[in-house]
Amino acid sequence: MQCSKCRRPAIIYQRYSGLHLCESHFNADFEAKAKRAVRNHRWLEPGDRIAVALSGGKDSSALLCFLTSLVGKRRDIDLIGITVDEGIAGYRDPSNAVRIAQSLGVECLTVSFADEFGVTVDEIVQKRGDSLSCSYCGVLRRHCLNRAARSHNVTKLAFGFNLDDEAQSVLMNAFRGDAGRLLRGTRPIPGMVTRIKPFMYIPEREVALYAFMHVTGFEIGKCPYSHNALRADIRNVLNDYSWRHPATKYSLLNLGEDLSRIGEGFAGEVNTCSNCGEPCGDTCRSCQMLDEVKRDTG
C-alpha cells in the first residue's frame, strides 16, 4: 500500500484514522501526538529536571529517545534515566537500560528493591505466593522511583505509558468499582514528583514500531509473573472489542481524563508516612506490604 499523504510505501495502517503512513509521515504523526500531550498538559517548563522511568523495554526506551530529540539540546532542561531492578531472575538486566541511555548520551541511575527494601520480588513470591506479585511489584516500584527522583532533584518523572495502558487502567478501575482511582485528580501532591506521560495518545503498536525504528537492543521479554495480573485479562477483552470498534481506546482515555478533572474538587487528604517518609493516604501501602512480608519471614 502507498502512504495516504505521499506515494512512498506505507509501513503502517491506522485503523482508527483510516490512514496508511510511510516511515517519514509515521514519524511526523507519532511525534506530533507526543508533543500535543506535552503541550496540552503543560508538562515541560524551563528549569525542569526530567527523569525517565527506564525499564529497557520498548515503551520507556522509545520515550527516552523521543525526549532526547525534544529537549536534549536545551540548556534549561536536564534529562536522566532511572532504572529499577526489582529482582526477578532472568527477566530484566538493568545494565541493558543503562546501555540504551548511554547510547543516547543520557545519564542513568540504578536502584534496586534489594537495596531499598532488603527484599526482591522473587523473594516476596517465595514467601507470599505469586497471586499478588504484580500488586507488590507495582507499589514498591513506584515507591522506589519517587524516592530516587526526589533525592536527585527531579521535577518531572516520565513514564512510557501508551494509549493501551491508559485505556486498560480506566477499564480496570471500572471493573473493580474503584471510584477513587477514576476520580483521582492531577493536582501536585507534596512529596510526590509530578508524573508525565507523553505517549498517552499513542497506541502500543505504534510505540513498538517507533522503538524498532530508533532504538537498538531494547528488551522484549515478558515478566514471568504477569499471567496473574488483572491487566492481562483486561488487555485481551479491550483488544478484541477495539478490533470491531477502533476508537474505543481513545474513548476510554477521554473518559478517564474527564473523570480526573471532575475529581480535582474531591481530593482526599495526603499524609506523610512516619516510617518511610513517602506521601500516602490513611496508610502507607508500601510499608504495609513490607510488614506482611516480614511477618511471613518471622
| Phi-psi map region of 105: left, alpha, beta (phi>0 left; psi -120 to 50 alpha) | left
The CA-atom distances, in angstroms, between 197 and each of 3, 44, 194, 266 are: 28, 11, 10, 23
Residue 266: pLDDT band (50, 70, 90) is: low
In whole angstroms, give the CA distance from residue 91 to residue 85.
Answer: 10
Q: Is the pLDDT of residue 281 over 90?
A: no
Domains of the chain: 32-271 (3.40.50.620)
pLDDT higher for 179 or 155?
155
Residue 229: pLDDT band (50, 70, 90) is: confident
pTM for this model (two decimals): 0.94
In whole angstroms, give the CA distance from residue 68 to residue 77.
Answer: 11
pLDDT reported for residue 282: 80
Q: Is the pLDDT of residue 181 over 80?
A: yes
Half-sphere exposure of residue 152, counting CA atoms within 13 Å on the CB side? 23
Contact status, residue 147 vs residue 223, Cβ threshold 8 Å: no
Contact status, residue 255 vs residue 123, Cβ threshold 8 Å: no
Sheet containing 107-112: give its strands across: 107-112, 78-85, 49-53, 156-158, 194-196
Grid coordinates given for 273: 508516612
Q: Is the pLDDT of residue 240 over 70?
A: yes
